[in-house]
């Protein structure tokens, strides 16, 4: 039996790519685990002329296409009984009354907006006209929320006219990843890390989110966004806040999110005066990824030969607060890199005095690597004496290595499964507060505006390499180097 309170789930954009690829498969998995409350209905909304049976066909096809496992007949029977479809053009605000009639007013309704953000205000207005914005109801919004601070504010304002912030759940799917969430446990449940997590002990931090994929046929979207809006404004800055925030008073929604907002507000601005020393942007040319010949960004389907859109970004970030003054954070993310892997690497400061200097003029720094994906886990590099009778203090770097899958013998849940459950539970901690989105845009806008002013094209890198050479220089000039992936 599910421990989740009863609720109904309404998906606007019921036949769209996001719903078919992510939402329906995640909901099916929750059915499989017995997590969905018994009374919960899943109501798809769209303009098609479908009934229950027709929508079940669409959903079944999506599950067969996008799930890695075969469809189980028993689970499908249970799941399909929850499904229904409601025909509605969201521009027709009178039509929301019919939607209301299909919902049980005794429990909360969750409205998932799997549609273009330009429609969010209109949907909220329609819901309000039908009285569906009462405080027990919640809305879920997908990224990207705008393309800059101004457009993001417009979306948030159009929603805030009808729903209070406590009803709004903004998705950043990285916050639903097991390993990102584990950062809270690592930092706040372990004395050893909690007490060494600041400028006194940490030298610098690297955060890499590397992708092997290119733009996956999404030129129309990606060329307007670029890696900065697509990945840095949301996922990388969210990881950064989880690493850099101060301990919250508790793990409740607002305590946690206030600490993250404080980090975003402390990011040192990057603008035209310092962009050259702080940021490298790149664009891939043709090359080989996993032995396969792939086209360059400008040769992708639908490409415009003149595009200066970045597919790679590396940034030196400074956080101007007491905890992190003088500790650089290096962020790096790109498409068509040699492997798909996301890691946070924390380098600890050298000891005040090297007692082994006679044998080792410089001791390697302790290094904590947190593997976010694909092989979730962490390791710490420490120095050990090699066993033996040798009197020369023969030291060797060794690893304490923890693999989540080997230790816990179970697969991590998918991010969307976790996030859907959290909305049903009414917990906002893993969702992005309006102030976070806007603080992130403010910082990112300044970088994008500096790029536009200086008009310098992105540096090229061959697909299948770790980005432009300049991204190496960005970090080596500070005396560091990017962590090499195994
Ligand atoms: N696809 C993905 O993996 C991801 C997508 N996103 C974001 O999620 C959002 C949705 O993306 P995606 O699923 O790819 O988009 P799609 O274009 O595939 O789907 C859009 C949906 O909106 C519905 N729709 C459009 N206009 C109306 C209307 N006037 N009234 C009712 N329904 C309407 C369409 O249904 P119909 O035509 O039947 O009315 C369709 O189901 C976007 O903002 C995207 O950026 C975010 C992360 C990942
Ligand atoms: O939001 C997005 O994320 C994916 C990367 O997500 P991951 O879970 O596979 O790491 C990215 O490819 C896409 O461009 C972006 O819109």
The pLDDT-based confidence of 304 (bands split at 50, 70, 90) is confident
Q: Give the closest residue to 464 by CA, choosing from 339, 332, 312.
A: 339
The pLDDT-based confidence of 13 (bands split at 50, 70, 90) is very high
**What's the average model confidence in pLDDT over 354-367?**
94
Per 3-state DSSP, the chain is made up of helix, strand and coil in percentages (nearest 5) of: 40, 20, 40
Tokens coding 226:
């670029």
pLDDT digits (tens, 9 = 90+) for 193-226: 998 999 999 999 999 999 999 999 999 999 999 9
Collapse the DSSP code of 396 into the 3-class scheme (helix H, G, I; strand E, B; otherwise coil) and give the result: strand
**What's the average model confidence in pLDDT over 292-303?**
95
In the block, tokens 């892997």 appear at 341
Burial class (CB in 10 A: 0-12, 13-18, 19+), 75: middle
| Ligand 2 geometric centre to CA of 334 (Å) | 11
* CA-nearest residue, atom 30 of ligand 1: 89
Q: Give yes or no for residue 318 having a pLDDT over 80.
A: yes
CA–CA gap between residue 179 and residue 372 (Å, rounded): 5
| Ligand 1 geometric centre to CA of 144 (Å) | 12
Give Cβ neighbours of residue 433 (< 8 Å, ≥ 6 apart). Answer: 165, 170, 257, 260, 261
CA–CA gap between residue 44 and residue 41 (Å, rounded): 10
The pLDDT-based confidence of 258 (bands split at 50, 70, 90) is very high
Quick one: which atom of ligand 2 is closest to the CA of 340? 10
CA–CA gap between residue 374 and residue 177 (Å, rounded): 11
pLDDT digits (tens, 9 = 90+) for 74-85: 999 999 999 999
Collapse the DSSP code of 375 into the 3-class scheme (helix H, G, I; strand E, B; otherwise coil) and give the result: coil
**What's the average model confidence in pLDDT over 251-263?**
96
* CA-nearest residue, atom 8 of ligand 2: 174
Do residues 129 and 96 make contact, with C-beta atoms less than 8 angstroms apart? Answer: yes
Q: Give the closest residue to 287 by CA, choosing from 465, 107, 480.
A: 465
Q: Give yes or no for residue 1 having a pLDDT over 80.
A: no
Q: Give the closest residue to 303 by CA, choosing from 228, 214, 233.
A: 214
* CA-nearest residue, atom 48 of ligand 1: 18
CATH classification of 175-413+427-476, choosing from 3.10.580.10, 3.40.50.1390, 3.30.360.10, 3.30.1330.10? 3.30.360.10
Share of the chain above pLDDT 70, in %: 100
Helix axes 73-82, 52-66, angle to 10 degrees: 140
As a CATH number, domain 8-142 is: 3.40.50.720
For the question of residue 393 being annotated catalytic, the response is no
CA–CA gap between residue 77 and residue 425 (Å, rounded): 25
More confident site: 43 or 3: 43
Tokens coding 36:
């969905």
CA–CA gap between residue 124 and residue 404 (Å, rounded): 41
Give Cβ neighbours of residue 50 (< 8 Å, ≥ 6 apart). Answer: 44, 58, 85, 87
Collapse the DSSP code of 11 into the 3-class scheme (helix H, G, I; strand E, B; otherwise coil) and give the result: strand
- The pLDDT of residue 392 is 82
Q: Name the residue of 180, 235, 335, 414 whose CB sits within 8 Å of the most ligand 2 atoms, as the mutation to test its pocket.
A: 235
| Ligand 2 geometric centre to CA of 235 (Å) | 8
**What's the average model confidence in pLDDT over 221-234?**
97
Q: Give yes or no for residue 486 having a pLDDT over 90.
A: no
Q: Give the closest residue to 247 by CA, choosing from 237, 258, 236, 239.
A: 258
Q: Give the closest residue to 402 by CA, choosing from 369, 374, 432, 431.
A: 369
For residue 231, the ligand closest to its alpha carbon is 2
Helices (H) and strands (E) in the chain, counts: 17, 17
Do residues 213 and 336 make contact, with C-beta atoms less than 8 angstroms apart? Answer: yes
Q: Give yes or no for residue 406 having a pLDDT over 90.
A: no
Collapse the DSSP code of 86 into the 3-class scheme (helix H, G, I; strand E, B; otherwise coil) and give the result: strand
Collapse the DSSP code of 333 into the 3-class scheme (helix H, G, I; strand E, B; otherwise coil) and give the result: strand
pLDDT digits (tens, 9 = 90+) for 385-394: 999 988 788 9
Tokens coding 315:
């940034």
Q: Estimate to the nearest angstrom the gap between the alpha carbon of 389 and the chain centroid.
A: 50
Q: Give yes or no for residue 344 having a pLDDT over 90.
A: yes
Lowest mean pLDDT among 155-159, 216-220, 283-287: 216-220
Provide the annotated binding site for substrate.
Answer: 173, 177, 211, 230, 335, 340
- The pLDDT of residue 442 is 98
Binding-site residues, ligand 2, Cβ < 6 A: 211, 213, 230
Tokens coding 414:
């998918």
Name the residue ranges covered by the structural domains of the chain: 8-142, 175-413+427-476
Collapse the DSSP code of 384 into the 3-class scheme (helix H, G, I; strand E, B; otherwise coil) and give the result: strand
CA–CA gap between residue 343 and residue 349 (Å, rounded): 19
- The pLDDT of residue 246 is 97
In the block, tokens 């979207």 appear at 221
B/e letters for 289-313, b = 16+ CB within 10 Å, e = fewer, are beeeebbbbbebeebeeebebbbbb
**What's the average model confidence in pLDDT over 341-368?**
95
- The pLDDT of residue 230 is 96
Reply yes or no: is the peptide bond before residue 169 cis, omega within 30 of 0: no
Indicate if ligand 1 lies below 6 Å from the C-beta of 47.
yes
Phi then psi for residue 31, to 5 deg, are -60, -45
- The reply to whether domains 8-142 and 175-413+427-476 share a CATH topology is no
CA–CA gap between residue 481 and residue 203 (Å, rounded): 13
Helix axes 434-454, 237-244, angle to 10 degrees: 120
Handedness of CA 246, 249, 251, 254 (dihedral sign): negative
**What's the average model confidence in pLDDT over 44-53?**
97
Tokens coding 22:
């992510």
Indicate if ligand 1 lies below 6 Å from the C-beta of 48.
yes
Give Cβ neighbours of residue 398 (< 8 Å, ≥ 6 apart). Answer: 381, 382, 383, 384
- The pLDDT of residue 455 is 86
- The pLDDT of residue 136 is 97
Cβ of 193: how many Cβ atoms within 10 Å? 17
């Amino acid at each position: 039996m599910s421990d989740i309170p009863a609720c109904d789930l309404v998906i606007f954009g019921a036949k769209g790519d996001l719903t078919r690829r992510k939402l329906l498969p995640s909901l099916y998995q929750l059915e499989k685990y017995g997590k969905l409350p018994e009374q919960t209905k899943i109501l798809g909304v769209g303009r098609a002329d479908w009934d229950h049976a027709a929508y079940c066909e669409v959903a079944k096809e999506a599950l067969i296409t996008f799930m890695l496992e075969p469809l189980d007949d028993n689970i499908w029977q249970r799941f399909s009984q929850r499904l229904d479809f409601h025909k509605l053009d969201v521009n027709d605000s009178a039509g929301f009354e019919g939607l209301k009639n299909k919902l049980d007013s005794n429990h909360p309704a969750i409205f998932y907006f799997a549609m273009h953000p330009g429609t969010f205000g209109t949907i909220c207005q329609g819901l309000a006209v039908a009285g569906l914005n009462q405080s027990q109801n919640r809305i879920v919004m997908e990224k990207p929320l705008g393309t800059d601070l101004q457009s993001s504010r417009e979306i948030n304002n159009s929603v805030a006219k009808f729903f209070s912030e406590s009803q709004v759940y903004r998705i950043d799917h990285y916050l639903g990843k097991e390993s990102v969430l584990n950062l809270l446990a690592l930092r706040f449940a372990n004395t050893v890390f909690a007490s060494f997590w600041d400028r006194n002990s940490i030298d610098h931090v690297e955060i890499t989110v590397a992708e092997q994929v290119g733009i996956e046929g999404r030129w129309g979207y990606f060329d307007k966004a670029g890696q900065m809006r697509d990945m840095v404004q949301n996922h990388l800055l969210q990881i950064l806040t989880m690493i850099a925030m101060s301990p919250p008073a508790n793990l409740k929604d607002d305590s946690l999110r206030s600490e993250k907002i404080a980090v975003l507000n402390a990011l040192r601005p990057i603008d035209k005066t310092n962009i050259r020393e702080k940021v490298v942007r790149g664009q891939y040319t043709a090359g080989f990824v996993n032995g396969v010949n792939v086209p360059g960004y400008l040769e992708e389907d639908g490409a415009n030969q003149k595009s200066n859109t970045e597919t790679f970004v590396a940034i030196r970030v400074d956080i101007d607060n007491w905890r992190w003054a003088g500790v650089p954070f290096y962020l790096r993310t790109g498409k068509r890199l040699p492997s798909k892997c996301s890691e946070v690497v924390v380098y600890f400061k050298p000891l005040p005095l090297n007692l082994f200097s006679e044998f080792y003029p410089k001791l390697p720094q302790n290094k904590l690597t947190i593997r976010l994906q694909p092989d979730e886990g962490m390791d710490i590099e420490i120095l050990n004496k090699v066993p033996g009778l040798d009197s020369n203090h023969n030291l060797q770097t060794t690893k304490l290595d923890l693999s989540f899958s080997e230790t816990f013998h179970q697969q991590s849940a998918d991010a969307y499964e976790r996030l859907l459950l959290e909305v049903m539970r009414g917990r906002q901690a893993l969702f992005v507060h309006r102030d976070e989105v806007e603080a992130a845009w403010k910082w990112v806008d300044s970088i994008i505006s500096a790029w536009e002013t200086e008009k310098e094209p992105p540096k090229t890198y061959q697909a299948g390499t770790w980005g432009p050479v300049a991204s190496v220089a960005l970090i080596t000039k500070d005396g560091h180097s990017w962590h090499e992936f195994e």
